[in-house]
């Protein structure tokens, strides 16, 4: 009834290939964007920005990057956090070497460093596949964290061994450092995530996306139809690591404000793999759904007892939280092994024929 | 279309509920949040300290009705030593908080720049980083009663029996966690090694190899050092002590920093670790304050400790000292400003002007439990000194008189690193408009 697609005729190729060929999808997107850009900032407290909105966006972006590689091109990677670290450290070095540089430029430049490192560690993918490749990327994870710890030049020989973000502004508006308003930082992150997401939706629909999918589904067949495997795999590594690197730089500069090397250690890689898997591999929207489940849900669950007026010890709550989130993950994976994005697709299909299913 | 408007409403309501819940946390009394880690990989070391901190505050509420008659609203926010959770907890608690206790170097680094803007004092007792002592740079940060550099100096002072020149020609291994915390003493130790002509061999232990240190101990056996100094944390301590026992390293030459002196780490090896030492700013014993806690908190079943024997552990008693420092700072502020319900800025003043004399410690029932502590504008640590404790096979006993750091030597290094920090985080506000008196 609400999702009726009948009567929406496509008369041109352009309208048939539009990003959102169904009107209701478009409306839904506008509602979500309006909520993100207008409604949330009207109500959000500093806590909501710092603990919910900004982390969800940054993790979604990182997971989007991983999804390009794993979900679209089928190359398993466990080194996401390491590549995020490369982006963060590159952005830190760029902004300290060229202090006048606009942070947006620095951010997009730092992506190139992580892309280069990603391609370098992606080289083994030309020879090995599947779990073996996962182990190779795992090696990059260990190596990069070790490098962040040992190469003091990276953190400017800081006594604390960590990278710290100084105050920076864009045309007079303070965007990083302790004085930046969380709302400004939120809009900044939201803007970048929107742009990258839009670009990725288009990229994955286009020639590259189709090449990656062909490689994912059967690389020998892809090679036989004339796809250059090396180019396809390495471009997936490059694009993926580029996005992941930007996510890492955003994380340190617009959310945390400081980072130690072990922030970029394996637990975060796994967390992002979980987001991508639970959200749905080979989907753009799934990353956002997955991030909401993995990143935002525990925060909201922690607030629940207080909202209900219960007094539960914080540590007990943390244990309960881990159990609840863990069982939810298992439940979602049993109900829909293809992730939340597939779950939404099923709901949407049902809605389209509702209330008269065949 | 109704479907979408409902969705929008639900989303907006959800956001509103979250926004309100943080505002609804307002409570009366002195709001002292603590970013605890009773879960996660470091829970073993965290839990006893947090129990001590909590029980002292609860005891004050029960016995005295709080501080100066104002009840303490002691809140725990669980981080599991995770920096993401640390940000979340800081943002959640800061609305009403008079102080923030971040309890991890990583969280401290993240939170410290924000505390200048939010104007909340940050209390990092026995951790944080050493340059925090420079109150003119770190106006809102405090790390009483001693810093890691003080600790490093005191350990060497103990090894040298008070005469640093006797270290000449010796070889000292620093077995440290490969992490900002573990690397902290290196600049000072390197300087001392150069001054007194001993050989310093830093041996790092990665976060992933904390429990398996056979490679490190093989290296120690090969190096044959005169002493091993340990900067360990969490599972690393028990790993190192077990390995030292296994390789028959002479335990009396093995000295840890205060976080490497938890009873639990040594009980596994018991008598075999006899002679192991740890420098500590609290001495073990049966102090009157413990009686009060037993009477008002533990016997009423309000404590989270598993058995009363936990009260005798070094870490539990250290938690008490940490809470005592905070409570005394609140009292100092109350007395100075003549207000019972102090705000965060007044508590900052209280911390800066804290003077816990020997007489006051006796009043508190803590005579001999920790050295007298006096802070100042240019001294946010107090540098009150520490004792060497020795494991006698069953428990830690005090093994030295009060050791004190050589401030003339350490202070220039602190000022230099503090200036570096301010430069890296430019524009750093420094003391700003906060008067020093």
Contact status of A217 with chain B (Cβ, < 8 Å)? no
> What's the Cα-to-Cα distance from B365 to each of B28, B70, B362, B370, rounded to whole Å?
28, 21, 5, 11
Q: What is the pLDDT of residues B158-210, one digit of tens each?
A: 999 988 899 999 999 999 988 878 888 998 999 999 999 999 999 999 888 88
Distance CA B430, CA B423 (A): 11
B-chain residues near A160 (CB < 8 A):
105, 109, 129, 180, 421
> In terms of domains, do B108 and B216 share one?
no
CA atoms within 13 A on the CB side of A95: 30
Nearest CA distance, B375 vs chain A (angstrom): 23
Contact status of A26 with chain B (Cβ, < 8 Å)? no
Q: State chain B's mean pLDDT as an integer.
A: 88
Q: What are phi and psi of A90, to 5 degrees?
A: -65, -45
Tokens 């943002």 belong to: B91
Q: Which of B23, B113, B420 sits opposite A257 (nearest CB)?
A: B113
Domain-located, residue B432: no
Q: What is the pLDDT of residues A265-320, one digit of tens each?
A: 998 999 999 999 999 998 999 999 999 999 999 899 888 888 888 777 888 888 88
Q: What are phi and psi of A184, to 5 degrees?
A: -60, -45
> What's the Cα-to-Cα distance from B100 to each of B131, B143, B167, B324, B364, rounded to whole Å?
18, 12, 40, 15, 24
B324-337 average pLDDT score:
94
Q: What integer pLDDT is reported at residue B268 of this predicted model? A: 85
A137-145 average pLDDT score:
93
Q: What integer pLDDT is reported at residue B25 of this predicted model? A: 41
For residues B81 and B104, the answer to whether their CB atoms sit within 8 Å is yes
Comparing alpha-carbon positions, the chain A residue that sits nearest to B187 is A159
Contact status of B83 with chain A (Cβ, < 8 Å)? yes
ipTM of the complex as predicted: 0.84
Domain-located, residue B410: no
> In terms of domains, do B104 and B136 share one?
yes
The alpha carbon of residue B245 and the mean position of all alpha carbons in its chain are separated, in whole angstroms, by 28
Q: pLDDT band for position A1 (50/70/90)? A: low
CATH class of A44-353: mainly alpha
Distance CA A159, CA B187 (A): 8
CA atoms within 13 A on the CB side of B175: 32
> In terms of domains, do B209 and B275 share one?
yes
Distance CA B409, CA B425 (A): 26
B-chain residues near A35 (CB < 8 A):
8, 11-12
Task: Answer whether residue A237 shows pLDDT above 80.
Answer: yes
Are B39 and A315 an interchain contact pair (Cβ–Cβ within 8 Å)? yes
> In terms of domains, do B155 and B139 share one?
no
> In terms of domains, do B298 and B271 share one?
no
Q: What integer pLDDT is reported at residue B18 of this predicted model? A: 46
> In terms of domains, do B68 and B159 share one?
no
CATH number of the domain to which B355 belongs: 3.40.50.2300
A161-169 average pLDDT score:
87
> In terms of domains, do B173 and B191 share one?
yes
pTM of the model: 0.87
Are B424 and A164 an interchain contact pair (Cβ–Cβ within 8 Å)? yes
Contact status of B190 with chain A (Cβ, < 8 Å)? no
Q: Which domain holds residue B174?
A: 149-280+386-405
Q: pLDDT band for position B13 (50/70/90)? A: very low
> In terms of domains, do B135 and B158 share one?
no
CA B61-B63-B64 angle, to 5 degrees, is 70
Are A265 and B207 an interchain contact pair (Cβ–Cβ within 8 Å)? yes
Distance CA B435, CA B432 (A): 8
B-chain residues near A165 (CB < 8 A):
425
Comparing alpha-carbon positions, the chain A residue that sits nearest to B13 is A43
Residue A11 DSSP class: -
Are B25 and A262 an interchain contact pair (Cβ–Cβ within 8 Å)? no
Q: What is the pLDDT of residues B38-87, one digit of tens each?
A: 988 788 888 999 999 999 999 999 999 999 999 999 989 999 888 888 88
Q: What is the DSSP string of B140-161?
A: TEE--S--HHHHHHHHHHHHTT
Are A35 and B8 an interchain contact pair (Cβ–Cβ within 8 Å)? yes
> In terms of domains, do B338 and B310 share one?
yes
Task: Answer whether residue A161 shows pLDDT above 90.
Answer: no
Q: pLDDT band for position A179 (50/70/90)? A: confident
Task: Answer whether residue B17 shows pLDDT above 60.
Answer: no
Distance CA B244, CA A278 (A): 45
Q: What is the pLDDT of residues B382-434, one digit of tens each?
A: 999 999 999 999 999 999 999 999 999 999 999 998 998 888 887 888 887 77
How many separate domains does chain B show? Answer: 2
Q: What are phi and psi of A15, to 5 degrees?
A: -70, -30
B153-159 average pLDDT score:
94
- CB atoms under 10 Å from CB of B211, counted, come to 14
Q: What is the pLDDT of residues A119-140, one digit of tens each?
A: 999 999 888 888 899 999 999 9
Which of B85, B78, B29 lies closest to B50, judged by CA? B78
Domain-located, residue B351: yes
Domain-located, residue B397: yes
CA atoms within 13 A on the CB side of B89: 31
Q: What is the pLDDT of residues B23-41, one digit of tens each?
A: 434 447 899 999 999 988 7
Q: What is the pLDDT of residues B101-124, one digit of tens each?
A: 998 888 888 888 889 889 999 999
For residues A86 and A115, the answer to whether their CB atoms sit within 8 Å is no
What is the three-class DSSP state of B391?
A: strand
Contact status of B404 with chain A (Cβ, < 8 Å)? no
B126-148 average pLDDT score:
90
> In terms of domains, do B316 and B204 share one?
no
Q: What integer pLDDT is reported at residue A130 of this predicted model? A: 84
Are B116 and A178 an interchain contact pair (Cβ–Cβ within 8 Å)? yes
Contact status of A161 with chain B (Cβ, < 8 Å)? yes
For residues A291 and A280, the answer to whether their CB atoms sit within 8 Å is no
Distance CA A72, CA A298 (A): 28
Query: Domain-by-domain residue ranges, chain A?
Result: 44-353
Domain-located, residue B2: no
Q: Which of B76, B91, B110 sits opposite A51 (nearest CB)?
A: B91
The alpha carbon of residue B311 and the mean position of all alpha carbons in its chain are separated, in whole angstroms, by 18
Q: What is the pLDDT of residues A319-330, one digit of tens each?
A: 888 899 899 889
Distance CA B110, CA A162 (A): 10
Q: State chain A's mean pLDDT as an integer.
A: 90
Q: Which of B109, B131, B178 sits opposite A149 (nearest CB)?
A: B178
Handedness of CA A242, A243, A249, A253 (dihedral sign): positive
Are B180 and A313 an interchain contact pair (Cβ–Cβ within 8 Å)? no
Nearest CA distance, A122 vs chain B (angstrom): 25
> In terms of domains, do B88 and B118 share one?
yes
Q: What is the pLDDT of residues A76-115, one digit of tens each?
A: 999 999 999 999 999 999 999 998 899 999 999 999 999 9
Contact status of A311 with chain B (Cβ, < 8 Å)? no
In the structure encoding, which two tokens stand for residue B411, read together?
């202070």
> In terms of domains, do B193 and B246 share one?
yes
Q: Which of A39, A45, A165 sits opposite B23 (nearest CB)?
A: A45
Q: What is the DSSP string of A89-137?
A: HHHHHHHHHSTTS-HHHHHHHHHHHHHHHHHHHHGGGGT--HHHHHHHH
Q: What integer pLDDT is reported at residue B87 of this predicted model? A: 87
């Amino acid at each position: 009834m609400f999702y009726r697609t009948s009567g929406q005729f496509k008369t041109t190729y352009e309208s048939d290939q539009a990003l959102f060929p169904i009107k209701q999808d478009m409306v839904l997107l506008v509602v979500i964007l309006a909520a993100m850009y207008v409604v949330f900032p009207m109500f959000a407290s500093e806590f909501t920005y710092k603990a919910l909105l900004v982390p969800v966006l940054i993790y979604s972006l990182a997971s989007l990057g991983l999804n390009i590689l794993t979900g679209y091109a089928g190359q398993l990677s466990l080194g996401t956090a390491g590549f995020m670290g490369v982006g963060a450290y590159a952005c830190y070095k760029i902004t300290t070497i060229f202090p006048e540089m606009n942070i947006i430029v620095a951010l997009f430049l730092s992506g190139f460093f992580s892309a280069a490192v990603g391609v370098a560690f992606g080289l083994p993918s030309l020879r090995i596949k599947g779990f073996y490749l996962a182990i190779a990327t795992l090696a990059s994870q260990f190596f990069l964290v070790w490098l962040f710890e040992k190469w003091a030049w990276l953190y400017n020989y800081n006594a604390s061994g960590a990278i710290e973000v100084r105050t920076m502004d864009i045309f007079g508006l303070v965007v990083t450092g302790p004085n930046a308003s969380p709302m400004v930082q939120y809009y900044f992150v939201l803007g970048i995530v929107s742009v990258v997401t839009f670009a990725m939706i288009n990229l994955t629909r286009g020639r590259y996306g189709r090449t990656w999918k062909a490689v994912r589904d059967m690389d020998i067949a892809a090679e036989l139809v004339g796809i250059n495997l090396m180019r396809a795999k390495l471009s997936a590594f490059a694009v993926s690591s580029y996005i992941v690197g930007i996510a890492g730089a955003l994380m340190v500069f617009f959310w945390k404000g400081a980072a130690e090397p072990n922030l970029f250690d394996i637990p975060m890689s796994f967390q992002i793999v979980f987001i991508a898997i639970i959200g749905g591999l080979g989907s753009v929207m799934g990353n956002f759904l997955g991030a909401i489940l993995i990143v935002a849900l525990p925060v909201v669950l922690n607030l629940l007892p207080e909202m209900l007026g219960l007094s539960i010890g914080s540590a007990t709550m943390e244990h309960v939280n881990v159990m609840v989130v863990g069982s939810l993950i298992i439940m979602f994976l049993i109900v829909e092994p293809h992730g939340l994005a597939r779950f939404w697709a099923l709901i949407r299909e049902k809605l389209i024929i509702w209330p008269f299913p065949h | 279309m109704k479907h979408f408007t409902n969705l929008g409403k639900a989303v907006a309501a959800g956001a509103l509920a979250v926004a309100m819940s943080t505002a609804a946390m307002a409570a009366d009394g002195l709001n002292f949040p603590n970013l605890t880690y009773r879960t996660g990989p470091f829970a073993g070391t965290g839990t006893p300290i947090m129990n001590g901190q909590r029980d002292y505050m609860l005891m004050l509420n029960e016995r005295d009705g709080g501080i100066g008659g104002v009840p303490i609203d002691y809140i725990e926010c669980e981080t599991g030593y995770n920096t993401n959770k640390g940000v979340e907890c800081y943002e959640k608690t800061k609305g009403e908080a008079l102080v923030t206790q971040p309890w991890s170097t990583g969280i401290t680094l993240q939170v410290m720049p924000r505390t200048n803007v939010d104007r909340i004092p940050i209390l990092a007792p026995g951790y944080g980083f050493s340059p925090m002592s420079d109150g003119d740079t770190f106006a809102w940060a405090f790390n009483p009663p001693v810093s890691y550099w003080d600790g490093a100096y005191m350990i060497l002072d103990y090894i040298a029996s008070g005469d640093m020149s006797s270290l000449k020609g010796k070889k000292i291994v620093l077995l440290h966690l490969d992490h900002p915390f573990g690397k902290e003493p290196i600049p000072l130790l390197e300087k001392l090694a150069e001054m007194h002509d001993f050989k310093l061999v830093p041996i790092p232990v990665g976060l992933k190899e904390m429990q398996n240190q056979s490679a490190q101990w093989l290296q120690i056996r090969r190096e044959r050092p005169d002493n091993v100094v340990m900067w360990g944390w969490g599972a690393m301590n028990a790993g190192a002590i077990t390995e030292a026992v296994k390789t028959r390293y002479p335990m009396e030459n093995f000295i840890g920093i205060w976080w490497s002196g938890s009873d639990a780490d040594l009980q596994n090896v018991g008598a075999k670790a006899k002679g192991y030492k740890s420098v500590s700013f609290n001495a073990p014993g049966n102090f009157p304050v413990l009686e009060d806690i037993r009477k008002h908190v533990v016997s009423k079943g309000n404590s989270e400790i598993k058995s009363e024997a936990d009260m005798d552990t070094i870490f539990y008693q250290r938690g008490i000292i940490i809470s005592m420092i905070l409570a005394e700072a609140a009292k100092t502020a109350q007395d100075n400003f003549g207000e019972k319900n102090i705000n965060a800025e007044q508590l900052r003043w209280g911390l800066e002007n804290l003077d816990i004399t020997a007489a006051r410690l006796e009043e508190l029932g803590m005579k001999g439990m920790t050295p007298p502590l006096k802070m100042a504008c240019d001294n946010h640590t107090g540098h009150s000194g520490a004792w060497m404790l020795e494991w006698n096979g069953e428990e830690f006993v005090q093994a030295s008189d009060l050791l004190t750091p050589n401030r003339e030597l350490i202070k220039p290094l602190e000022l230099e690193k503090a200036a570096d920090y301010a430069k890296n985080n430019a524009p750093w506000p420094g003391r700003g408009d906060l008067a020093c008196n």
